[in-house]
Amino acid sequence: MLTPSPPPSSATGSTPTPLRATLYLLTSVPLGAVTLVALLLLAGAGSALAVLVIGVPLLLTLVLSGIPLAALERRRLRLIDPVPLADPHREPSAPGLASWLRTRLQEPCTWRELAYALLFAFVLWPLEALAVGAVLLVCGGLIGTPVMMAVGGDEEARVLKLWLAGSWPEAFAVLVAGVVLLPVLTWPLRFVARGRAVLTRALLSPPEAALDSRIAELDRSRMRLVDAFEAERRRIERDLHDGAQQRLVALSMTLGLARLEKPAEPLGGLLERAHEEASAALVEIRELIHGIHPQVLTDRGLVAAVEDLADRSPIPVDVRLTVPDRLLEAVETAVYFAVSEALTNVAKHSGATRVTVTGEAAHGRLAVAVEDDGRGGAVADPGAGAAPDASGGTGLQGVADRLSVLGGALLLSSPPGGPTVFRLEVPCPPADSRT
């Protein structure tokens, strides 16, 4: 589920330890130097080649350079701030590089990250290098006095270019002073790192408007799920009343007629009808139970359940799904019904002759794609938050809402002429995870 990042005041309420603060500031120096060189090269080469076509991608890369830096900074911030910083970027509306670029260039957070990259490259890391360098220079100069004396071969060594240590006892006394001063001088670095963390979180946190829109969309998704669950409850009640219940009533009446028949008349026809009614009722009840929650999903997991869907599909389906372990029940159920709905849409609307279901779990996310060789042209409902649907309706709305609540997304790509690809991504912690 999507959760907003806490405000800077609460996120950085504790001051980091001197060691973590020093490591955080030290890693800023090489990263900032590399960022500065990369920005200068991109700006120089892009400007020089602006009259040529090759200059446009370089300038575009310069504009987007803040995205990977911000992603790295969010990870590096964990050195001194245990509260994770959420990624403010949203999923593109469709797969492909063009859709990704269009989405990123329209997001305010992309430009905020570019501003952060410029500030980091030209201002922040030199100041951090100055703060850490001063501490290391003073303490390193004191601690290294005996080494300089031994290397020089003299009986004296100049300490920090300020005074001379004229004997070995004096050199070792200076070394002890450097060791004692090291934690004293690194103590202020804690507050420098804390201020740096507050600034980083302020610049790279999702804007409040984006957080409000995500929260509002989650609220709408929950309301739609509540309505969907109520509709599903009414559907189950209706199916039981109009289907299996009526067949069982017919079976009871047939058996009652069989009991009232005269012994001289044959009972074979009535018993045969009763047997057919009982068989049909059992089939309907099994299908109804399978539609609520398939037993194979509970017993054998997602891969076996999807293979069972493929076996029952009227269109040949190739399944290449790699899920190494059992996942959380909510994740398995959401992915199962998403694949089921996609296969149903393919069978009803696509005119396809073959379907392929592929997917794998990697880096804590499960990505599954359902691709057919049909005529394409499936459209998404233009309504806000509507899920894609091959018929132009909202058949996948409940599936999209279920995935949204889990922090996932459902995307559709269906150019005229095909192929149509339903792609879903959802976080997939292992089944024994407490997260």
Q: Locate all alpha helices (DSSP H) within 49-158, ordered by sequence.
A: 55-64, 66-76, 97-106, 108-119, 125-143, 145-152
Residue 368 has what pLDDT? Answer: 92
Write down the pLDDT at residue 309: 87
Q: Where are the alpha helices (DSSP H) in 205-267?
A: 208-239, 245-260
Go through 210-240 and write b for each residue having 16 or more CB atoms within 10 A of its CB, e for each that does not: bbeebeeebeebeebbeeeeeeeeeeeeebe
Amino acid present at 70: A
Helices and strands in the chain, H and E counts: 16, 9
Question: Position of tokens 């350079």?
Answer: 65
Residue 327: predicted pLDDT = 81
Q: What is the pLDDT of residue 116?
A: 92
Tokens 């691709």 correspond to: 371
Predicted pLDDT at 154: 63
| Residues with pLDDT less than 70, the chain | 1-14, 145, 147, 150-166, 207-234, 237-245, 258-271, 286-293, 379-395, 430-435
* Range 56-65 contact pairs with CB under 8 angstroms and sequence separation of 24 or more: 60/101, 63/105, 63/110, 63/114, 64/104, 64/110, 64/114, 65/35, 65/38, 65/39, 65/114, 65/117
pLDDT, position 340: 87
Cα separation, 78 vs 27, whole angstroms: 13
pLDDT of residue 122: 93
* Predicted pLDDT at 195: 87
> How many C-beta atoms surround the C-beta of residue 399 within 10 A?
24
